[in-house]
A = this chain, B = another copy of it.
């Protein structure tokens, strides 16, 4: 059972079905991005030009639709993080990545609501999130090796700290674009190499801690084995 590939479901769709699926994704993407995850399925189907039932034929639930969209955005973000590994200055690369994450949430309400929500327990979103953490971990490791960042923080430490920045700054930056940068600088200040008597207590949180805090819920019904 461990040899079963995880991402098949590539069985051929009829041409019109494939087209409808795309129209639904595009409509939902635009509406979620603009007005958040509370927009109704009726409006999404209408904007896509299909019946309500078609939405649920392509996606098991409204959440599944959300997951398809948010998961993709997260994977894009992880990819941008990996790309920054070729940036010569390790500190600048880390700072840029943090900035891009906040920026993405700023222009996409769906993404901002998703990371705050309990959506992280969904398997697909979790996997994408793990990718992001891995990319951040790599960038953070480089910055630490270069002596630009204190040794005793982990990627999850940084991510937790950034979460508030993203949410708060996103709400404010319509008004005052400076605030985003201020909050960043505060986060970066917290990450500077610490004197010996300022070491953080306990152990740095890992992905295993994340798993124990938010156990991934198996999607119900589908898997019978």
Contacts and interface: CB of A to CB of B under 8 A. Distances in A.
Number of this chain's copies in the complex: 2
B202 A178 contact: yes
Interface stretch (A22-30, A45-53, A186-194): A186-194
Contact of A213 (B159, B161, B175, B192): B175
Contacts of A214: 171
A175 B163 CA distance: 19
Contact of A161 (B161, B171, B172, B205): B161
Which of A116, A190, A194, A209 has its CB near the most chain B CB atoms (within 10 A)?
Answer: A190
A201 interface: yes
Counting chain A residues whose Cβ lies within 8 A of the other chain, the interface size class is 35 or more
Report whether over half of chain A's contact residues are helix, strand or loop; otherwise say mixed. Answer: helix
A163 B160 contact: no
A191 B182 CA distance: 12
A91 to B, nearest CB: 13
A116 B161 contact: no
A204 interface: yes
A136 B161 CA distance: 19
Contacts of A191: 186
Interface of A: 116, 153, 157, 159-169, 171-172, 174-176, 178-179, 181-183, 185-187, 189-192, 194, 198, 200-205, 209, 212-214
